Structure 1
C-alpha cells in the first residue's frame, strides 16, 4: 500500500519507515503559523495531521461526507503508533480511537 508524509515545510517523504516518521514529527519544533503541522496520508484518502501541542486530526481528504475527528494532548508515541497503523492501511483500528466529531461535513 502506498503512503506518504508531508514535513512541516510541505516537503514530501514517500513511504517513510518509523525512524523517518519520528524525525518528521520532531520537525514540529520548527512549526509556525504558516506551517503548523505534519501529516501522513494513505492511498485510501485517509490522513492524520499532527500539530504542536498534541492536536491530531483524522480525516478522509477524498470523501467530503466523512466527518473529520480530532483528539487533543496526544503523545508523540501515540501519534507514531497511529501513523504506523495508517501506513499499514489499518483504517478500522484508527477509526476506533476516541475521536471528537462535530456532526458536520466539510463543504
Structure 2
C-alpha cells in the first residue's frame, strides 16, 4: 500500500498514519477565503485521488484519466472514512457512493 497526502499549501507526506487525516481535513478550516489553496487530498499509488474542499465538497478522480466525479455536503466523518479507503486501495468502498459526474 503506497499513498501520499497533499496538504493545503502543497506539501506532501508519504504514507502518514491514518490518524493524520483528521488534521489534514482541519487544514481547510483556516483562511476559508483563500481560493488558491483550498483543498487537500489523499492519492493512492494507482493515481486514484480524493480531494476535499471546504463545506464537504469532495472530488474522486484518477489523475491519469478524465472522469472526475464529485459530491457536496459530505460530513467530515464520511470524508475521513473515504480517505482511509483510498489509502488502503479499497476503491469499491469509494465507488459505492452516489457520485455526480464532473467537478
Same fold (TM over 0.5): yes
Q: CA RMSD in A?
A: 1.1
Unaligned runs of 5+ in 2: none
- Residue of structure 2 aligned with 1:59, choices 58, 61, 73: 61
Unaligned runs of 5+ in 1: 103-107
The alpha-carbon deviation at position 93 of structure 1 amounts to 1.7
Tell me which residue corresponds to 2:100: 100
Query: How many positions carry a matched residue from both structures?
Result: 100
Q: Does structure 1 residue 22 correspond to structure 2 residue 9?
A: no
- Give the Cα–Cα distance (whole angstroms) in 2 for the partners of residues 45 and 19 of structure 1: 22
Tell me which residue corresponds to 1:91: 91
The alpha-carbon deviation at position 49 of structure 1 amounts to 0.3
Q: Could you list the runs of 4 or more consecutive aligned residues of structure 1 that deviate by over 2 angstroms after TM superposition?
A: none
Scaled by the length of structure 2, what TM-score is found? 0.91
Q: Does structure 1 residue 81 correspond to structure 2 residue 100?
A: no
The alpha-carbon deviation at position 85 of structure 1 amounts to 0.5
Scaled by the length of structure 1, what TM-score is found? 0.88
Confirm or deny: 8 A CA contact 1:45 1:63 kept in the other structure: no
- State the SS of the aligned residue for 2:83: helix
Tell me which residue corresponds to 1:43: 45
